[in-house]
Chain A
Amino acid sequence: DAGVIQSPRHEVTEMGQEVTLRCKPISGHDYLFWYRQTMMRGLELLIYFNNNVPIDDSGMPEDRFSAKMPNASFSTLKIQPSEPRDSAVYFCASSLAGTSGNGIQYFGAGTRLSVL
């Protein structure tokens, strides 16, 4: 498997613009996670899905952030409108839980977002 695939790898945008980050999890995994990493706040869990259903979005910072998982092989994280404080590296991770998996989360390469 190619692993978790994120796109784009880098995104530079201006304040107020809409940003969409994309993630393709490992095939067969039933959990998908979105994280944000900054120097100041470390690694933060934003939201996670189980079988395409959002389970916990308590980490989503504001209504400007939304995430969807329309099917088992695709998820998006959208920021609208973007602000400079949203600048961070956003990671997507997937895992296989239950008796078949050990819960290891496999991380994508990340999207480095810069909002000017």
Chain B
Amino acid sequence: ELKVEQNPLFLSMQEGKNYTIYCNYSTTSDRLYWYRQDPGKSLESLFVLLSNGAVKQEGRLMASLDTKARLSTLHITAAVHDLSATYFCAGNTGTASKLTFGTGTRLQVTL
């Protein structure tokens, strides 16, 4: 059974700083997904990483995947307040479309 762990669970950072959220998973996962959830809102897809070494970037967020280490990272560059949200990673196994979500990382960017 796939298990997905994120750390940290909570991250408070100042505007302008860089930081990384880590996502470890227990067994082989074909794909790795990152989602964002604003308070009181739904989950929004950010990235899907399809193969080892994949890197995707959107604005100040960059996600990467290392399937050998079973690790994905979400790097935040020069954080701004608008990035405050909870970030989830999720993996799947085999051909199943079922995703296993991590517990989420609540990011708070302070002015």
Contact = CB atoms under 8 A, between A and B. Distances in A.
Interface residues of A, number: 22
Given A105-B97, A110-B42, 17 more contacts: A31-B97, A33-B98, A42-B104, A43-B88, A48-B98, A91-B43, A93-B43, A97-B95, A97-B97, A103-B99, A104-B45, A105-B45, A105-B99, A107-B42, A107-B43, A107-B44, A109-B41
Interface string A47-80: 0101000011000000000000000000000000
B101 interface: yes
B97 A103 contact: yes
Interface of A: 31, 33, 42-43, 45, 48, 50, 55-56, 91, 93, 95, 97, 102-110
Nearest to B30: A103
Contacts of B21: none
Interface of B: 31, 33, 41-45, 48, 50, 88, 92, 95, 97-99, 101, 103-104
Contacts of B45: 104-106
Contacts of A104: 33, 45, 48
Given A43-B88, A91-B42, A107-B43, A102 B48 contact: yes
Nearest to A4: B42
Nearest to B46: A104
A93 B37 CA distance: 14
14 contacts: A45-B98, A50-B97, A91-B42, A91-B43, A93-B43, A97-B95, A102-B48, A103-B48, A104-B45, A105-B33, A105-B99, A106-B45, A109-B42, A110-B42
Contacts of A103: 31, 33, 48, 92, 97, 99
Contacts of A97: 95, 97
Contacts of B104: 42-43
A82 B66 CA distance: 44
7 A-B pairs with least C-beta separation = A97-B97, A107-B43, A107-B42, A31-B97, A104-B45, A43-B101, A109-B42
